[in-house]
Structure 1
């Protein structure tokens, strides 16, 4: 009997050991996945300074793995990291999307410190977009959370953000107070990054107050910290700021040295906003040195970058630069025209500033120290309201019912208005597509006329036959809001074959399609890609280059979007502008395509983004134009 008991104990003990081993294995596997996700997030952050697109790709892998393994804490940090990645890429809509995902996830987890930081990041995003009152609103929400949970260290970045908003609104005294508070707190908490940020912003204040020596002192102090940290983005910014100070002090050699250091870093990064900043200061330096030919070249490059990226704030600055240049060179007519364009764009931007709302929000912040007293008064008022007699209670109830009725009417009106706007946008989309078809037919019939006049009847007959097949495709597709990618490519192939008959010189068309793309499942708006091919054929002057070619590339970005690139090896945007300087010559097809993308983005939660880049800005040895847009695919 005793042997049986011992044997039973041995079996149970072995079974428990197996279970413990299995649990240990599961925990070990989970830890490995968490380590992989953490390493991916760290790697994504490390790639920001060298390859922003690579940073996005790595973080996307971290997000997918975190979603699969349901590691909510790491998923929240991955969302936040991806939002910051898209911020540096300048893709505001994607940035906001991931910030909102991170905010929701951190709130679910009860991590209010990170939730508050996300609110601050959203405020920074609104500041970039020129919505300063909205930015201030989010900063103050961040202050409320940090004050409530007594997280003093988090107030450093908020003081700096509030200082930036005050600068934008022209209140430099208040801005200096905020930056000084932020710097002192950063020193106490040993936060090197915020120390640098606060010093840089104090330098901006001193510049505006013409305290150049003070500005130079804080910039160099900040640069010393940055060089030790290896932050090349901040390094380039400080080189730029120090170069500006030396230019204002008329030490042009030192100014040129620091500005070129900044340019060399930013050229490698390829961020157009950062490049515009350093180009603008090199332009100002050329004016100061009276090197007007170089100044004209620099402002032309600035115009190309601003227009190709549809940056209205920089377009306004470009016109201001032209006005200044033409005034110095004595061309007062062009100076006046440029100034009027600058004022026209600047007025539309200035409308974004609402001083009354700004002052109201600042008053809210200044009175924040009375918050506890106000809360106590509110509690007393609530207690008193509960003690009201029935008559007063009925009055309150009637008022609430009336208020709800008014709200219901307003909401109903708003919903009907939005439905009407959505329907109008759909009609506008169809109108634009219908405009594109006559425009295309006009070009095609002009080509047929040219062949007939040249007595090339056989070629004209073949052209008309191909045109008929293509028009049939276009008419069928134009009735649909979206068509399959295969149908779009089929129409594009026919269009290209037609264009080969039209031109006297040979053009090499190449297609590079990602094997992962399902051409039958992915849907896009019809006739979206044709205008970019037409623009390359008509405006790239391919007949002037050896071995002209157009590359059409489709690449899968994620499960619901593809990147569509059209690249030619023509003369490029800048060279084309030189050949017809200051002429307002636009491609009708390209303008219609831009309008269609704008309408699509208004209607859809998915956003298309169009970039048109002169390849010369990427590599001085290259020439041509790259048009690239991301298409949200609808299965």
Structure 2
């Protein structure tokens, strides 16, 4: 943040608007990385206004895209899609077609979150076609993985596995290590959904090992959460709690607010299943308060539902 602020302040002294816009944009990016989404949105919107004033279409497209990301995270899906569509339109106007697939994937992700799988698949397939036309292997991998997610969601695990394997093959061929653990983890999800828990655990642990080698805390956190989820499904609550607690430590250390909400929710719900109401209330309260603070609407609804279940159990006299 300090470096970005210095860039902005230096550009202000020189009355250099492109530098001012970039500095403000970077301040927003720094806040986004820390999970301060409201602050990030404020700076990105400020940067957008300057870029529009100076006619920086490429910069405007980027800002619109980022504003779309924030709104998607906060559950403002209609606004997010509107921002993404505006960004795509500008990309088409300036001939930056190769940048469109990433935004198409983002829109597809929103439709997937809304369980509109037909629309999601349409956007992912559009992204795949453009990426293949431009020989953009990284975006091809992204689209293949996304299509795999859709097929997995609708229960077609065989098709999901086909797309994951295609994506994994390309990732291994170009040695793009970022996607390899992610796809292996998603293959684990296919196995999990088919009830093959041991295979799923093997996939998750392999993905975890690769993520640890890369010091990728996000990948580590995701696999810890997935492994904990498997143990939760198996009724091994103490083992599940062990992995969720590891995830909690990572998220608190890295101040990843969004992931922290998810982890607190997982722990709270686990204590709820165990009938440990005191700890369940403590973790669910932390989750709800943090969700309100960051505007994470979908998670807030989950916690409210957990509280409702908790109250019902207490009302029925169910005790630990």
Aligned to 1:68: 53
CA deviations over 1:482-516 (Å, ceiling 9, x no partner): xxxxxxxxxxxxxxxxxxxxxxxxxxxxxxxxxxx
Q: How many residues align?
A: 298
**Correspondence list, 1:263-282, <5 A:** 263-264=248-249, 268-271=255-258, 275=261, 278-280=264-266, 282=268
Does 1:216 find its partner at 2:190?
no
- Displacement of 1:227: 4.5
CA deviations over 1:591-612 (Å, ceiling 9, x no partner): xxxxxxxxxxxxxxxxxxxxxx
Question: Aligned match of 1:173 in 147, 158, 163?
Answer: 158
3-state SS of paired residue (1:47): helix
- What is the CA–CA distance in structure 2 between the aligned matches of 1:315 and 1:296, rounded to whole Å? 14
- What is the CA–CA distance in structure 2 between the aligned matches of 1:320 and 1:176, rounded to whole Å? 37
3-state SS of paired residue (1:190): coil
- Displacement of 1:129: 2.1
CA deviations over 1:117-160 (Å, ceiling 9, x no partner): 21111111111122222111211222232334443432111111
After superposition, the CA RMSD in angstroms is 4.0
- Displacement of 1:111: 1.1
CA deviations over 1:371-405 (Å, ceiling 9, x no partner): xxxxxxxxxxxxxxxxxxxxxxxxxxxxxxxxxxx
Larger RCO: Structure 1 or Structure 2 (Cα < 8 Å, ≥ 6 residues apart)? 2
- What is the CA–CA distance in structure 2 between the aligned matches of 1:319 and 1:286, rounded to whole Å? 8
The TM-score, its normalising length taken from structure 1, stands at 0.40
Aligned to 1:101: 86
- What is the CA–CA distance in structure 1 between the aligned matches of 2:137 and 2:29, rounded to whole Å? 26
The answer on whether the counterparts of 2:248 and 2:263 sit within 8 Å (CA) in structure 1 is no
The answer on whether the counterparts of 1:263 and 1:275 sit within 8 Å (CA) in structure 2 is no
The answer on whether the counterparts of 1:37 and 1:65 sit within 8 Å (CA) in structure 2 is yes
Aligned to 1:185: 170
* Larger relative strand fraction: 1
The answer on whether the counterparts of 2:264 and 2:284 sit within 8 Å (CA) in structure 1 is no
Aligned to 2:68: 83
The answer on whether the counterparts of 2:108 and 2:123 sit within 8 Å (CA) in structure 1 is yes
| Deviates most, 308-317 or 32-41 | 308-317
Structure 2 residues not aligned, in runs of 5+: 1-13
The answer on whether the counterparts of 1:116 and 1:141 sit within 8 Å (CA) in structure 2 is yes
Aligned to 1:44: 28
3-state SS of paired residue (2:33): coil
Does 1:293 find its partner at 2:268?
no
Does 1:130 find its partner at 2:130?
no
- Displacement of 1:300: 6.5
The answer on whether the counterparts of 2:111 and 2:119 sit within 8 Å (CA) in structure 1 is yes
3-state SS of paired residue (1:191): coil
- Displacement of 1:240: 1.3
- Displacement of 1:190: 3.3
- What is the CA–CA distance in structure 1 between the aligned matches of 2:190 and 2:308, rounded to whole Å? 23
- Displacement of 1:319: 7.0
- What is the CA–CA distance in structure 1 between the aligned matches of 2:238 and 2:82, rounded to whole Å? 45
Aligned to 2:3: none
3-state SS of paired residue (2:115): coil
Indicate how the Cα distance of structure 1 residues 33 and 188 shifts in structure 2: closer, same or farther if over 3 A, else same: farther
**Correspondence list, 1:157-168, <5 A:** 157-168=142-153
Structure 1 residues not aligned, in runs of 5+: 1-28, 336-635
Indicate how the Cα distance of structure 1 residues 42 and 231 shifts in structure 2: closer, same or farther if over 3 A, else same: farther
- Displacement of 1:312: 10
- What is the CA–CA distance in structure 2 between the aligned matches of 1:128 and 1:163, rounded to whole Å? 15
